[in-house]
Amino acid sequence: MTTNKSVLAWIEEMKNLLNPDKVVWIDGSEEQLEALRKEACETGEMIKLNEEKLPGCYLHRTRENDVARVEDRTFICCRDEKDAGPTNNWKNPQEAYQMLFDIARGSYKGRTMYVIPYSMGPVGSPLAKIGYEVTDSIYVVLNMSIMTRVGTAVEEVLGDSEDWIKGLHAMCDVDPEKRYICHFPEDNYIISVNSAYGGNVLLGKKCFALRIASYLGKCEDWMAEHMLILGIENPQGEIKYVTAAFPSACGKTNLAMLIPPESYRNKGYKVWCVGDDIAWMRKGPDGRLWAINPENGFFGVAPGTNEKSNPNALASTKKGTIFTNVALNLDDNTVWWEGLDKNPPEHAIDWKGNPWNGKESTEKGAHPNSRFTAPAKNCPCISSEFNSTSGVPVSAIIFGGRRATTTPLVYQSRDWNNGVFVGSIMASETTAAATGAVGVLRHDPMAMKPFCGYHMGDYFGHWIEMGKILGDKAPKIFNVNWFRLDEDGKFMWPGFGDNFRVLEWIIKRCEGKADAVETPIGYLPRPEDINLEGLDMDMETLKKILTVDNEKWTAETKEIEEYYKIFGDKLPAELRAELEGLKERLAK
């Protein structure tokens, strides 16, 4: 237990508010965590799985009304409503505190209050930040102990400092009508009530690592981004690192754990995963941008994860993992989800806790947003720099979306500000099945729309400022699109491991070893500079997915202009200038 006066005063405040029967400080020891696992199994909160096939693994089910992040119940509570911006829900901080404390008051009666000291990032790293979460859920304690660095070592590093983030989680009645996930960026405070689903209650994840941290980054000249971090090793043993941001359903986790094509592996190329979801980046002593993954585990979507789509992610779940809302196979006490394999169990319990026969039932065995919480150290391709306190130097930043037409396979921005423009216009197209109309754009700038803790116009401005801070040592910025379709509606690019061929060109551009063709939107590879060795693709198809259609891009500029209006006078002048520049180049 800490001697930090600011922490102890807050814990006392929480005890008086929540009225727990007892208080347990989480020290991070295996003995304490094992006792909590045992207790959770005794109460039915978790189910222990087959120790031989899935050692140290458990299954948990949430309530049916509590299965995903709730954007409409997520709020930024800053003093001035204008500072929350058009992409966030806002509440007045004083009113929010009053409402939340009233909901949480006395809700720990008959329960235990767990106090979790945790570090986002390697303990002691100058790029890391510390938080405390109080919770009445063992499930939260055990997940936080996988997703973050937890325990007494964190408290030792914090010492007497008041620089830490408060996090209150109260399950209450798990009532969706009184469910709120609120962030107070000016106060370093997060409060989550009436949920027990990971994305809403593991307060180190999106709440701290993105919404609060993005605001801290703006104030302290660093960046908290919804990005994977990837190391690419060449046959000489040199490793270059890239970060990449993608909206959901665009293959982010698959890219984070990519396995290069066989022809590359035979030559000695390797890929190393530093992080699959979040990057914190800061200017290092050498002037370059350095990144850490603030997390210690993966909180991945289970359905669709299999031996073919992402063998490294699947391997990560084989021990010490908590599965949430997947099916329980009664024949061998293991788990199953849609897309794992083609053999659904006949004797199973579905995610709702009902008997389920996967061969006959029309109901899904696992919830579409079912999850695995797996230790990052389990990943076969985890980087040796994963726990580095200094992080890794970033050579390139990649943006991407799902576009059937318009956007080519890959292009490089003209410079940093143009790269910020490219990130700000990130969007994915909907499909006919989902919306009744093909090509409806959903904008998700920098893949941060649900996670930016302040006005997105100011966020763009912060990116522009970071370019000035980094100067000529700033990473190069690229955009990729794995999802171009041909006339028959089929994907033109194979994706998955073959995306390595595009990464190779990106790295060569960073090293000054590859040519490019200048176009109105940026620099594109010459078709002959993308290696097609071992790939069943002809040069004509590659040329098609590397074309820039001026007519389509001219229409795109009109759409961007309309979209930019939501940011009002907060849109940086530099981005307006980039849009005008693009229009002029297209007109020529």
Q: Which long-range contacts (CB under 8 A, 24 or more apart) does 534-539 make?
A: 534/261, 534/262, 534/263, 535/261, 535/494, 535/498, 535/501, 537/494
Give the span between the Cα atoms of 273 and 389, in whole angstroms: 16
**Residue 441 forms beta bridges with which residues?**
429
Give the span between the Cα atoms of 314 and 118, in whole angstroms: 26
Burial (CB < 10 A; 0-12, 13-18, 19+), residue 456, is buried
* 3-state SS, residue 345: coil
Q: For residue 189, what are its two tokens?
A: 């405070």
Q: For residue 372, what are its two tokens?
A: 């695995």
- Listing DSSP states for 158-204 in one string gives HTT----EEEEEE-TT--GGG-EEEEETTTTEEEEES--SHHHH-TI
* CA-wise closest residue to 568 among 458, 405, 423, 436: 458
* CA-wise closest residue to 298 among 198, 205, 373: 373
Catalytic residue among 250, 273, 379, 510: 250
DSSP secondary structure code for residue 491 in this structure = B
- Listing DSSP states for 530-578 in one string gives S--TT-S--HHHHHHTT---HHHHHHHHHHHHHHHGGGGGGS-HHHHHH
Catalytic site residue 250?
Answer: yes
Query: Active-site residue numbers?
Result: 250
